[in-house]
Amino acid sequence: MSNDKVITAEQLTKRFGHFTAVDHISFDVHKGEIFGFLGANGAGKTTAMRMLCGLSMPTSGKATVAGFDVYKETEKIKRNIGYMSQKFSLYDDLTVKENMKFYGGIYGMSDKFIKEKTGYILNHLHLESEGDKLVKSLPLGWKQKLAFSVAIFHEPGIVFLDEPTGGVDPVTRREFWNMIYQASDNGITIFVTTHYMDEAEYCNRVSIMVDGRIDALDTPAQLKKTYEAKSMDEVFLKLARKATRIEI
Amino acid sequence: MKHNSPFSIFNFQFWAFVKKEFFHIWRDKRTMFILLGMPVVQIVIFGFALTNEVKNSQIAVLDNAKDIASASFIAELDASRYFEIEKNLYSYNEIEAEFKKGKIKLAVVIPQHFGEDLQHFNKAQVQLVADASDPNTANQLTNYATAVIMDYQKRITNDRKLPYTIHTEIRNLYNPQLKGAYNFVPGVMAMVLLLVCTMMTAITIVKEKEMGTMEIMLVSPMKPQMVVIAKAIPYLVLSAVNISSILLLSRFVLEVPINGSLLLLVFESILFTLVSLSLGLLISSGAESQQTAMFISLIGMFLPTIMLSGFMFPIENMPLPLRVISNIVPAKWYYAIVKSVMIKGIGLHAIWKETLILTGMMLFFLTLAIKKFKIRLA
């Protein structure tokens, strides 16, 4: 079990002046796992995620992503991860195909690879006829699915999803999670933050951050047992109530 | 995965980015036409409409003498290309009424016995009445009218011997016809380049921040410096198009000659473009919204360019503090360079100082912009 860890964090800490945004967090994420990263606003989720993506230098502690060190090997990390945020990552004024060509391009993929992959994705999502349409003309749900496809376009080992389903209707969210399961079945590790507690139930394991620390980390079933709660919602509220930090 | 040198501008990643940037500009047709049409419109407006030269100004004449001399004098006025006699007045009171209508800004009053006075006393008076509610126009009109009168006097005294005469001969070097275009073409170039490069680069980068796509770029293996430079390239190309259209229009439509080396002029223009791009990058690293970026570009860059570059108002006449401040306005140096190269036709040896200052500014702004950009990531 220990040799399939794709993300490891040990006492990982980030301070901004006197403010400790992330306070000595430790966890491992395994290959192909869907790892839910929960926490109220301001709990430090985004900062932790930025450190793992190589966007922000940790103050102290250790962490590796895809086997690379977050201090020294951020370039290699960036080549091996995908990222999708709540804000849309596709360009509205580019067509679907142009978007894919662009993202493939910045990851240094070859023209041939990009062409094949684009064909495969459009076929898979049943969007063949939309390939040459501008992204702005597509419905929100499709954009979201495309954005996820683009995030794993370069076939990364790990994909970070920062509240990927914000502002989407429940049906689309369900479909979106089906895509996540598929990616996970293909061996891609999913690191996802979310505000929706029903989504937390879909994760293999869930960590809950409170005031910069990880207060709980287990499977959803085990967490509900430990906190004697009927749903993840209850678990989350029990933990989040302990927070002393003001929302930032 | 193919590993490219992150600093090579020939790698695939970089050009994928530049291509995408061109798509953005191309898809936004309205902005594109504004960017490419603006210099044309400005040149045409400045060249044909906004001119401070006196050309066929409409004037009124009150001829109280009505003799041969006055008639030939009025004919002289009318024949000059500066004036057109719009109205013959019959009483002094009419002058003000005409001024109030607004069309006529100058009235020439010829006294009674104009011809007789000239013949018998060798001396006659003409009164110029100008509408000085606009002092500059009034000043110019009276100057031109005085010049026409002097010409007339010279002609009628030609056959007579005067005891002493001082004859002034004026030569206007570099711009013999005193054309306004010689002044504003360099100014318009500075303005257009600054607007396109500084404002558009700042806006387009801040837009990516707003949309959240900048984050995606930063998580990608692309170097942040490359992201920023790739965004600036299309605007460099756009500026090259604008420089060409301005130069072509000014050369062939406004007939402003390019006396110096065209190559040097293009080189200096590209240098100024790079300064403007760096400024745009700097603004974008500080601004969080497109409105802020636009506001800073307009107030912080565009206004000083118009007022402190010497294009609209001569810097020599400004109070000391403004003269000092004008030194940090990049357009001031570029404006001086373009005037020297284009109009005076001098070479690099005379403008190396200005060139050096612009180069220094570019390096300073660019370093600062990239540094600020990196700090944001830490």
Model ipTM value: 0.82
Min Cα–Cα distance to chain B from A208, Å:
24
Domain limits at A46? 2-240
Q: Please give, rounded to a whole number of angstroms, the shortest distance from the CA of B26 to a CA of chain A.
A: 10
Whether residue B61 sits in one domain with residue B37: no
Give a yes or no: residue B164 inside a domain. Answer: no
Which residues does A74 contact at the CB level (< 8 Å), separation at least 6?
Answer: A54, A68
Q: Write the single-letter amino acid at B226.
A: M
Query: Which amino acid belongs to residue B267?
Result: F
Strand order across the B57-63 sheet: B83-89, B57-63, B106-110, B127-130
Residue of A nearest to B218 (CA): A55
Instruction: Sort out which chain A residues have CB atoms less than 8 A from B27's CB and list them.
Output: 93-94, 134
User: Best of B25, B217, B220, B231 to disrupt the A interface by mutation (most A CBs within 10 Å)?
Assistant: B220
Asked whether the predicted pLDDT for residue B361 surpasses 80, the reply is yes
DSSP A131: T
B374 touches chain A (CB under 8 A): no
d(CA A119, CA A109): 15
Arithmetic mean of pLDDT over chain B: 85
* Six-digit token string for A56: 């922000």
Nearest C-alpha of chain B: how many angstroms from A114? 12
Q: What's the CA gap between B111 and B96, in Å, rounded?
A: 18
The amino acid sitting at B230 is: A
Given B3, B16, B24, which is nearest A106 (Cβ)?
A: B16
Position B184 in a domain: yes
Considering the domain architecture, whether residues B256 and B116 belong to the same structural domain is answered as: no
- Which chain A positions have a beta carbon within 8 Å of B13's beta carbon? 105-108
Residue B135 and residue B241 in one domain:
no
How far is it, in rounded angstroms, from Cα B309 to Cα B323? Answer: 10
CA distance A89 to chain B (A): 5
pLDDT per position as a tens digit, B104-139: 889 999 999 888 888 888 788 899 999 988 888 888
Question: Is residue B172 situated within a structural domain?
Answer: no
Report the pLDDT value the prediction gives residue A103, as an integer from 0 to 100.
92
Indicate whether A10 pLDDT > 90. yes
Q: Which of these, A221, A230, A152, lies nearest to A192 by C-alpha position?
A: A152
Nearest to B337 by CA among B351, B326, B316: B351
Across A222-230, average pLDDT:
91
pLDDT exceeds 60 at position B2? no
What's the CATH code of the domain at A136? 3.40.50.300
Q: What is the DSSP letter of A134?
A: B
Mean pLDDT is lowest, of A161-170, B8-17, B114-123, for B8-17
Return the pLDDT at A3.
Answer: 60
Assigned domain for A9 exists: yes
For chain B, percent helix, then strand, then coil, each to nearest 5?
65, 5, 25
pLDDT at position A78: 92
DSSP string, A94-112: SBHHHHHHHHHHHTT--HH
Q: Which of B212, B213, B220 sits opposite A78 (nearest CB)?
A: B220
Lowest mean pLDDT segment, chosen from A51-55, A240-244, B333-337, B361-365: A240-244
Residue A248 lies in a domain: no
Whole-number pLDDT of residue B50: 64
Number of domains in chain B: 2
For chain B, give the longest Cα–Cα distance. Answer: 102
Do B45 and B65 belong to one domain? no
Nearest-CB residue to B12 (from A57, A75, A105): A105
> Which percentage of chain A shows pLDDT scores above 90?
61
Rounded CA gap, B301 and B203, in Å?
14
- Residues above pLDDT 70, as percent of chain B: 92
Is residue A64, in this structure, part of any structural domain at all? yes
Residues of A in contact with B377 (CB under 8 A): 55-56
Gap from A225 CA to chain B (nearest CA, Å): 37
Domains in chain A: how many in total?
A: 1
Task: Please give the Cα distance from A106 to A99 (Å, whole number).
Answer: 11
Residue A29's DSSP bridge partners are A7
User: Poorest-confidence range of A9-23, A98-112, B177-191?
Assistant: B177-191
Of the candidates A56, A75, A93, which has its C-beta nearest B221's C-beta?
A75
Identify whether A184 is part of a domain: yes
pLDDT tens string B250-261: 889 888 889 999
CB distance B216–A83 less than 8 Å? yes
Give the mean pLDDT of B340-361. Answer: 92
B220: chain A residues, CB-CB within 8 Å: 78, 103, 106-107
**Quick check: is B170 in a domain?**
no
Whether residue B294 sits in one domain with residue B191: yes
Q: Residue B2 domain-assigned?
A: no
State the average pLDDT over residues B301-305.
86
Q: A86 vs B212: CB contact, 8 Å cut-off?
A: yes
Residue of chain B minimizing CA distance to A73: B221
Both tokens of residue B246?
């301005």
With an 8 Å Cβ cutoff, is B376 touching chain A?
Answer: no
* Same-domain pairing of B190 and B298: yes
Confidence of residue B9 (pLDDT cuts 50, 70, 90): very low
CB contact under 8 A, B377 and A56: yes
Question: Is residue B22 located within the same domain as residue B62?
Answer: no
pTM of the model: 0.78
Same domain, B263 and B134: no
Question: How many residue contacts between A and B have a Cβ separation below 8 Å?
Answer: 89
> B215 contacts in A (CB within 8 Å)?
55, 83, 85, 87, 89
Regarding whether B241 and B105 lie in a shared domain, the answer is no
A208 CB contacts (<8 Å, ≥6 apart)?
A38, A39, A214, A215, A216, A217, A223, A235, A236, A239, A240
Domain that holds residue B246: 12-50+179-377
pLDDT, position B159: 60
pLDDT digits (tens, 9 = 90+) for B193-241: 888 889 989 999 899 888 888 888 888 888 877 888 888 899 999 999 9
In this prediction, residue B51 carries a pLDDT of: 64
| Mean pLDDT, residues A110-128 taken together | 92
Query: Distance between CA B280 and CA B362 in Å, rounded?
Result: 11
Check residue B316 and give its pLDDT: 86
pLDDT score of B375: 63
Instruction: Give the chain A residue nearest B219 (alpha carbons).
Output: A78
pLDDT-derived band of residue A218, with 50, 70 and 90 as boundaries? very high
pLDDT of residue B61: 92
Nearest residue of B to residue A16, measured between CA atoms? B378
Domain boundary among B157, B189, B221: B157
Question: Is A53 a domain residue?
Answer: yes
B203 and B299 assigned to the same domain = yes
Concatenating the DSSP letter of every residue in A54-119 gives: TSS--SEEEEEETTEETTT-HHHHHHHEEEEESS--S-TTSBHHHHHHHHHHHTT--HHHHHHHHH
Residue B7 lies in a domain: no
- B357 and B252 co-located in one domain: yes
Q: Residue B291 contacts by C-beta under 8 Å, 6 or more apart in sequence?
A: none
Task: Please give the Cα distance from B238 to B246 (Å, whole number).
Answer: 12
What percent of chain B lies above the pLDDT cut of 90?
28
Chain A neighbors of B208, CB-CB under 8 A: none
Does some domain include residue A246? no
Q: Is B222 on the interface with A (CB under 8 A)?
A: yes
Binary contact (B219, A91; C-beta < 8 A): no
Q: What is the mean pLDDT of residues A132-161?
A: 92
Q: How confident is the model at residue B377 (pLDDT cuts 50, 70, 90)?
A: low
Same domain, B336 and B228: yes
Question: What CATH number is attached to the domain comprising B147?
Answer: 3.40.1710.10
Which of B351, B45, B333 has the alpha carbon at shortest distance from B194? B333
| Interface contact flag, A57 B4, Cβ < 8 Å | no
> Within a domain: residue A245?
no
Residue A16 pairs in a beta bridge with: A19
What's the token pair of residue B239? 């500026």
